[in-house]
Chain A
Amino acid sequence: MALEIDPITFAVIKNGLDTIVDDMAYTVMRTARSPIVRDVLDYSATICDAQGRILAQAKTVALHLGAVPDAMSVVMDEYGDDLVPGDVIILNDPYAGGMHLPDIFMFKPIFHDGALRGFSVVIAHHCDVGGRVPGSNASDSTEIYQEGLRIPPLKLYAAGIPDRSLLALIKKNVRLPDMVIGDLQAQLATCNVGERAFVNLFRKYGIDALGQYFDALLDYGELLTRQAIRAWPNGRYQFTDYIDDDGFAPGPIPIVCVIEVQDDHLMVDFDGSSPQVKGAINCTLSYTKSSTYLGIRCALGRDVPNNAGVYRCITITAPEGSILNPRLPAPVAARALTGYRVVDAVLGAMAGIVPDLVMAAGEGGNTVVCFGGYEAGSQTPFILVDMINGAWGGRAGKDGIEGVTNPSQNMSNMPVETLEARYPIRIEEYGLREDSCGPGEHRGGLGLVRQYRLLADEAVLQLRADRAVNPPYGLFGGGPAAPSRNILNPDGRAEELPSKLTRTLHAGDVIRHEQAGGGGYGDPLRRDPDRVAADVANEKISRDFAERKFGVILSPDGFQPDLAASEACRKRRRDAVE
């Protein structure tokens, strides 16, 4: 840290920047129109300096983390010397700084004392941007032109004057124009909040001093990150994970991650990953980077700030034309699934570097269940989009968690009673799935079960799951979790369904999704027999599972491990392996 930096002022300015992005996040939440932004909190807010470097980012959606630098550099390339006060730039093109079309980025350059000082940046997931399917988010499009309106970096406002042509074009091309325009206004209001507070910071501390503190803040982020990486052993760490399929061709689709630790720097490369695919699960490089930062970020301390200093320590590459860096016109709308698997692959590679800081694979990302149809005997349409989350894998020293969001975002679940009051569907079961955990010294979390009965005459079901063929992996001797399953009418003529499907259902049909659990961590034969017995007592695992997977034999009443019999059983297993 440079000598002229006062540590107390430094702490206060850092807090001040965190407060600005917090206030921006609150502003989005208060002013947004669409439920996905307001209730699911699918947005993020960032402050950058004049060079476009991230100074602070609100903790909203984890996977927006790494997308801003690429988008910012596209904006700088396009408009770097053509910015004036009152300009506002938007973009959503995945092939020019964006992630997928529903995510519209907005940038407002901030001027003070006659010069550019920084940017307010707000990303929001819009409820619709046109294209062939409502919500602009379908996984079965085959080129980006089907997915909606593509916006290259354009000035929505030039020197404070709105561009009527651009606004009119957007309005004509989306299904819910009022909501989209309303959310754009919310983004603008938020940019303005950030601008005001940022200018105040300059008034208080002065231009020169603040510039020095910003440098120091990025250096601080870099320093913490480099300190962490320097403690990791140099070397090359590889891990491959798989997506089952893209809904068109049989899989598996490999995601190959190689992390090279070079003293205090990380090189991450995805060479060997699948070429781009027909279905819309291709993932642009910026989203690949986001997912990679997330996986690595989880191994850094919680106090490491979200700023550009962190990204200086990590270089990420993926071959062009691959599923992780696709070429036009590959469709990308449902790239979230691929992002989940990138996180899984990165954590798998990190397991070789920092075994104590990672977890075995979780459920593999949320399962999305959509029903669309008409209420019984009426013309009232309904569309239910339900998301099922999730389980974490086992960790060093502790079990995985069950009933928890994937760490890639921080989503909630829809209450059963709310769902039933609004849609002609009855939920027959929502609970933990027994025996679905990956066995390990620290077992994975149990997956969830959610079972739906259709009460309307007819509806179209769209279901997107994964991990039915390639289950969540275990680590260090821990076993994989149970794979996911989709079952039609489990109590009648049960029919196993594929993991991704579209199909018409009729009144009384029942759909059951059994989600994968989390993978196990460490040798299951070393799991504390008392913990195995407790899981049996809680009916989280069966007696049979306890014996088969953990080598633990229980007393006849089922609540106590028979230690002698268990030890003998475990010894037999170990001997058999050797």
Chain B
Amino acid sequence: MELENGARIGVDIGGTFTDLVLSDGRGRTWFDKRASTPAKPEIAVLDGIAGLLQKAGLRPGDLLEVLHGTTVGSNTLLQKSGACTGLITTRGFRDVLEIGRVRTPDMFDLQWDKPVPLVPRRLRRVVSERIAADGGIVRPLDEGELRIVGRELAAAGVESIAICFINSFRNPAHERRAEAVLRECLPGLAITASVSVLAEMREYERTSTAVVNAYVQPVLQSYLRRLGEGLLALGVTAPLLVSDSNGGLAAARTAQEKPVFFISSGRSAGVVGAARLGQAAGEDNLVVFDMGGTTASASLVQNGEISRASEYEFRDGMSAPARFIKAGGYMMRVPTVDVAEVGSGGGSIAWIDDGGLLHVGPVSAGADPGPACYGQGGDRPTVSDANVVLGYLPDRLAGGELHLDVDKARLVIDRDLAQPLGLSVEDAAYGVREVANANMARAFRAVSIERGIDPRDFTLAAFGGSGPAHACDLASSLDITRVMLPMMPGVFTALGMLTGDVERHFVTAMPGRLDDLDMGELTGAVASLRALAEAALRDENFAAEQMRFAFSLELCFDGQNSELPVLLPDPVSGASHSWLRQQFHAAYEAMYQYVADDVVEVVNLRLLARGVRPGKLDFQSLTVTDTGGDQRESDDRRVYFGRDLGWRQTPILDRRKFAGDASGPLILESADSTVVVPPGGRLTGDGLGNLLIDLTGEIG
């Protein structure tokens, strides 16, 4: 097979830009960054693909794979533009979706608005049926009533229906039957049975996950269909793979069936890419930092393993898997890369409160009107304005297309911040950076210290449009002394797609005490999940030797509400009750620093099935062939590094010209981002195209 050496393209749609990276499989790479086309996102994707193929001199038929991360799912939730959705539940439980988990994200805030449920009460209907906690049938499903309810929902204009019955995770018979009945009497409607997306205990989490799936499905289906047709029209016959919230890839068909797994498609691909990059560069412990225009996010790679979570909430465009706040967002219990997000980006607005305290964000100037220095009507000081005033950013951006207005940036910072605070313009601007960095440091603490991990032992890997300009200061504030900046940081997420494997997730509930666990039953459950997974991966053209299976048993102490996974040995017969208990105790102690001798309970058996993609990008031999824009002449300018260090005459280099070692202060510019090395930082290249900055040195 020629798979190892073929061309692949990674595409990531963001709020402002659509990023594309083309790798020809022989180490040559091209990239493109173009404005997103939110009304029809596929337009930017297709135009970008055609353009890159042309640049690289390749034919559409040369492409082996198209790898895609999309915000279509998250935008559908954000803009409430999903399908008109109905929900059918057990009688007595019509309002599970709306009640949720009843917590609020903040205290002392009587003006809070609880997010409106995706299905209004009039489209939430009940039927007679009841499964007991042990799976027994208390009341049979009333199919006649179900047909009536289904037809009434269809008559009310519903395009998609979710079904979630109490205890269906224990016995799915009623839900499966209801699904079949509705498919038969309502052809053309999308139907989601909750056990198809999440066969786990806890009715709210399962209902909400099923409803998000039903709500997003018609939109994502139609987008992926249009994209697929567009690719064919271009002559691209390569399979389209979509990145899921866990950073894995799956055939577009899977994304159409279970869209709830693909809501944070894309965002997670950058973390997967960073982990893969760390592997190539010998960096096993990374704090991954991605800073764009409106948000910054942090995640963790420990001993080469990406930190993941089993559920998260989508709320106000921000999402967080934090254990503190299960508070009325759109809950999805699906595997996800554990990312903490804060509203600090280049466009975040700086302001002073009534008590004279400086704040940055969470309001952002976004792409329109953008920061004041963009000269597009923005009139409030942002982080980017501060960076321009301080000399960090050049007077033109994004490959030279956008000129930055330094005077306008000075004016708004002076007027809105420096004068009210009685500071010089540069001190006010530097303050904006410090406060923004402090906000971002909190996101880092959420994924590290909250989980008992000391970030000082980690390397900070930074990407995103604004990441490399803030990485060193942020690292210093966390006592991190090593910073890694990949090649092409501005389009790194698209690059990350090229490094992923195909992943499928399977789960089955096995509630009961660990002591009562029947090992024969466990072996049987493992075998049946494995059969499902093998069929699914065969379907995506993987041979047996490319398949990898990781089974874990999720355990908790009696009475707890959150469980921890224990990875099962292969074959499973290697696990005993005492071995499982021991493994659980060890995992628990690592997480919570103590261990109890309480009764241990089994919750779920989970399978992560992976199809190892041949020819995925490994960062070992990567060169950027074309970065666009003119080569920049070496130059220097004054840059402000805070009160102690003041203004420093700082060399400005084109990143493409940089080789060998250098000391800060130094700024490297490229079409997709700006790297700031502070005084005292030691900069080296690692031979793989990454920049490493050592911050242990004395500030000179």
Contact = CB atoms under 8 A, between A and B. Distances in A.
Interface in A201-260: 220-221, 223-224, 227
B201 A62 contact: no
A464 interface: no
A18 to B, nearest CB: 8
A402 B355 contact: no
A23 B449 CA distance: 7
Interface in A528-544: 537-540
B431 A432 contact: no
Contacts of A227: 354-355
Nearest to A393: B110
Interface stretch (A278-286, A293-301, A478-486): A293-301
B561 A403 contact: no
Given A26-B449, A540-B121, A8 B430 contact: yes
Given A7-B423, A31-B592, A410 B103 contact: yes
Contacts of B421: 7
Contacts of A267: none
A402 B116 CA distance: 11
B466 to A, nearest CB: 20
A367 interface: no
Interface string A1-23: 10000011011101100010011
B112 interface: yes
A223 B355 contact: yes
A157 interface: no
Given A26-B449, A422-B559, A417 B201 contact: yes
A39 interface: yes
Given A8-B427, A15-B438, A413-B102, A418 B561 contact: yes
A182 B99 CA distance: 34
A416 interface: yes
A48 interface: no
B96 A430 contact: yes
A432 B95 contact: yes
Majority secondary structure, B binding face: loop
Interface in B211-250: none
Contact of B122 (A294, A417, A430, A538): A538
B201 A421 contact: yes
Interface residues of B, number: 71
Contact of A30 (B109, B430, B445, B592): B592
B48 to A, nearest CB: 40
A357 interface: yes
Given A420-B133, A428-B92, A413 B101 contact: yes
Interface in A13-52: 14-15, 19, 22-23, 26, 29-31, 33, 35, 38-39, 41
A29 B359 CA distance: 29
B403 interface: no
B99 A417 contact: no
A33 B594 contact: yes
Nearest to B169: A417
B99 A431 contact: yes
A294 B594 contact: no
A185 B594 CA distance: 10
Given A8-B430, A448-B99, A416 B104 contact: no
Contact of B104 (A189, A301, A404): A404
Given A415-B201, A540-B121, A31 B594 contact: yes
A220 B358 contact: no
Interface in B27-86: none
A351 B354 CA distance: 23
A303 B353 contact: yes
B591 interface: yes
A410 B107 contact: yes
A358 B110 contact: yes
B424 to A, nearest CB: 11
Contacts of A427: 92
A403 B434 contact: no
A401 interface: yes
Given A1-B356, A220-B355, A405-B102, A392 B122 contact: no
B111 A395 contact: yes
A390 interface: yes
A403 B102 contact: yes
Given A403-B98, A404-B104, A411-B102, A11 B201 contact: no
Contacts of A39: 560-562
Given A26-B449, A410-B103, A420 B167 contact: yes
B110 A392 contact: yes
B596 interface: yes
A402 B114 CA distance: 9
A1 B596 CA distance: 51
Contacts of A30: 452, 591-593
A390 B108 contact: no
Nearest to A414: B561
A538 B103 contact: no
A10 B435 CA distance: 11
A404 B94 contact: no
Given A182-B594, A538-B121, A62 B103 contact: no
A312 interface: no
B633 interface: no
B341 interface: no
Contacts of A539: 121-122
B120 interface: yes
Contact of A431 (B93, B169, B357, B434): B93
Contacts of A22: 442, 445
Interface in B566-609: 591-594, 596
A426 interface: yes
Given A227-B355, A412-B102, A11 B434 contact: yes
Contacts of A403: 95, 98-100, 102, 114
Contacts of B111: 357, 395, 398
Interface string A297-325: 11011110000000000000000000000
A389 interface: yes
Interface in B536-574: 559-562
A10 B201 contact: no
A487 to B, nearest CB: 15
A59 interface: yes
Given A412-B103, A417-B166, A431-B93, A8 B110 contact: no
Nearest to B112: A401
B167 A417 contact: yes
Contacts of B122: 537-539
A454 to B, nearest CB: 14
B120 A538 contact: yes
Interface in A93-150: none
A407 interface: yes
Contacts of A410: 103-104, 107
B132 interface: yes
Contacts of B560: 35, 38-39
A422 B561 CA distance: 12
Given A10-B357, A412-B101, A407 B511 contact: no
14 contacts: A12-B434, A12-B438, A33-B596, A62-B108, A220-B355, A220-B357, A300-B108, A392-B110, A401-B112, A402-B99, A403-B100, A410-B107, A422-B559, A432-B98
Interface of B: 92-96, 98-104, 106-114, 120-122, 132-133, 138, 166-167, 169, 201-205, 323-324, 326, 328, 353-359, 421-423, 427, 430-431, 434-435, 438, 441-442, 445, 449-450, 452, 511, 559-562, 591-594, 596
Interface of A: 1, 7-8, 10-12, 14-15, 19, 22-23, 26, 29-31, 33, 35, 38-39, 41, 59, 62, 182, 185-186, 189, 220-221, 223-224, 227, 294, 297-298, 300-303, 357-359, 389-390, 392, 395, 398, 401-405, 407, 410-413, 415-418, 420-422, 426-432, 448, 451, 537-540
Given A221-B355, A303-B359, 12 more contacts: A7-B431, A8-B431, A12-B438, A19-B445, A30-B452, A398-B113, A401-B112, A403-B98, A413-B101, A415-B204, A432-B95, A537-B122
